[in-house]
Amino acid sequence: MSENIKDECGVFGIYDKSRLGNIAQQVYFGLFALQHRGQEAAGIAVNNDREITLVKNMGLVSEVFNDSILAKLNGEIAIGHVRYSTTGNNTPENAQPISVKYAKGNLTVSHNGNITNAKELRDKLEAKGAIFHTTSDSEVISYLIAIQRLKSKSIEEAVEKVFPMLQGAFSLLIMSPRKLIAVRDKFGIRPLCMGKLQDNVIFASESCAFETIGATFERDVRPGEIVIVTEEGIESNEKYCGHSGGLCIFEHIYTARPDSVIDGQGVNEARMNAGKMLAKIAPADADLVIGVPDSGLPAAIGYSHQSGIPYGVGLIKNRYIGRTFIQPTQAMRERSVALKLNTLKSNVEGKRLVMVDDSIVRGTTLANIIKLLKRSGAKEVHVRISSPPFIYPCFFGTDIPSRKDLACNNYTMEELRQKIGADSLAFLDVKTVDKIAPDSKVTFCKGCFTGKYPCKVPCEKDDKNILG
């Protein structure tokens, strides 16, 4: 199993009223900006006069698509997806978008999140004769909407009926023959925002994707909101709005790109705030502050600003090694650290270092990084983590595994310090983590730190008491 936290998925969609150009190319660039959210598979579906053309496959966006493929994907509505598998196997069949044909036509769905009651819903559908082609919870959502559409006057009415059936995290883009619909679960666990490019309406998991295609950010989709875009304009259904929210705090700590703004809070600023607060509660006597690329860098800069200890580059990242790099043996896992990260020896040799990272999962990668630094002559390595300890799993789309695999759940602080080889070790505390995002318009889910979730979650065999 990988040491690094894997990301959720990313979604991107356009309703192209003005036919500005190749719609698939716009989605392609948008997905490129969201590539950090999923590197296992990518897909684009385009609606051209009610005919759906779908291209998806395993790999990065640049590996799945080329100019000749994009040139053939013409239409007025399009949605795309980059995937990391949280529910369902990592296979071509589970790549998204998911497209189904039924009595009312075509229905295509892109989903970011994790439906915690997906197995229960799937079992009920199969008992009534449904045949599934994937193991993804996104196909369950598609089936439910299709069934309700047969009993409803419109696709948006069907979506409204399905909404309360779904538990967990879901930021959805739904494409029907004439409409593009965006849906965010009532807790807003996963981000979703809306932008504009002239008359065109755009949705994306993160605001950074808008700038990539020259669009402007309009607003976040509210927790519980259903936004319907047609040729006539934009409608909003706020029937399920009203909750204060439950955005995954890990979006600000690790997942989102630093240039994104989520629910009013700039991600880079949140990470710098985490570093500043970490310096206050866990000072260190050191010569240099360094960060573990990439998400640890803003927090390291914040730690430096608050502590007065100079910030410097201590680790160089190989940009051509992806997060999904295969590491089948322990020896290869250790070697992969040297492939991904190298030390800048001239900066770290003879120095007492504060090394800031975003999290500790199993601890193996961090231990190997510390070995690299000390081999390069670092006198001391004081590890500071810009999140609280992970002691519970995540059920909403972030790959935080079972409690038995979490280092912070298996070792005392001192045992963990010794395990990774650090000279000292400290984390941001749970009470402080709320304060890193003072401009956020929503509250946060911190279930992986506290075991308290915004909604009911499945029980692990060894976690019988963690129900929201």
Q: Do 379 and 310 have their domain in common?
A: yes
The answer as to whether 5 is a domain residue is no
Question: Do residues 237 and 265 both lie within one domain?
Answer: no
- Of 354 and 325, more confident: 354
User: Are 201 and 279 in the same domain?
Assistant: no
Q: What is the pLDDT of residue 92?
A: 80
Query: Is 455 contained in some domain?
Result: no
231 and 158, same domain (yes or no) = yes
For residue 461, is pLDDT > 90? no
Q: What are phi and psi of 66, to 5 degrees?
A: -140, 180
On the question of pLDDT at 327 being above 70, the answer is: no
Q: Is 318 found in the same domain as 216?
A: no
| Same structural domain, 63 and 91 | yes
- Domain co-membership, 278 together with 338: yes
pTM: 0.91
Top mean pLDDT of 61-75, 127-141, 389-403 is at: 61-75
- The β-bridge partners of 78 are 14, 46
Taking CA 428 as the corner, what is the angle to CA 298 and CA 302, rounded to the nearest 5 degrees? 25
Residue ranges making up the domain that contains 301: 261-450
The answer to whether residues 342 and 200 belong to one domain is: no
Which CATH number covers residue 403? Answer: 3.40.50.2020
Q: Is residue 397 part of a domain?
A: yes
**Does 333 have pLDDT greater than 70?**
no
Angle at 458 between CA 457 and CA 460, to 5 degrees: 125
Q: Which of 9, 394, 445, 455 is catalytic?
A: 9
Annotate 112-147 with DSSP letters as a single string: EEEETTHHHHHHHHHHTT---S-S-HHHHHHHHHHH
Task: Report yes or no on 396 lying in a domain.
Answer: yes
- Cα-based torsion angle of the residue sequence 311, 313, 319, 325 in order, rounded to the nearest 10 degrees: -90
Query: Is the residue at 177 inside a domain?
Result: yes
* H-assigned helices in 308-441: 330-340, 345-348, 364-375, 407-410, 413-420, 430-433
Two structure tokens written together for 462: 């060894």
CATH number at residue 30: 3.60.20.10
Burial 444-458 (b: 16+ CB within 10 A, else e): bbbbbbebebbbebb
Packed helices 118-127 and 137-149: angle between N→C axes, nearest 10 degrees:
50
The beta strands (E) that lie in 284-392 are given as: 288-291, 315-317, 341-343, 352-357, 380-385
Report the domain count for the chain.
2
Residues 31 and 113 in one domain: yes
457 in a structural domain: no
DSSP state of 406: -
Q: Do 230 and 270 belong to one domain? A: no
Same domain, yes or no, for 29 and 88? yes
Q: How far apart are CA 88 and CA 458, in angstroms?
A: 16
Beta-carbon contacts of 256 under 8 Å, excluding residues fewer than 6 positions away, are 191, 206, 208, 262, 267
Question: Does a structural domain hold residue 204?
Answer: yes
Q: Beta strands of 269-314 (E only): which ranges? A: 288-291
pLDDT at 326 over 60: no
Residue 252 domain-assigned (yes or no): no
Selection from 68, 98, 265 nearest residue 170 by Cα? 98
Do 320 and 412 lie in one domain? The reply is yes
Give residue-wise pLDDT tens across range 192-223. Answer: 999 999 999 999 999 999 999 999 999 999 99
Q: Taking the C-alpha atoms of 132, 10, 161 and 249 in order, what is their torsion angle to the nearest 10 degrees?
A: 120
Per the annotation, the verdict on 9 as an active-site residue is yes
Answer yes or no: are the C-beta atoms of 82 and 39 closer than 8 Å.
yes
CA 466/CA 124 separation, integer angstroms: 25
Which of 242, 277, 308 is the last residue in one of the domains?
Answer: 242
Average pLDDT, whole number, for the chain?
A: 90
Residue 335, C-beta contacts closer than 8 angstroms, at least 6 positions apart: none
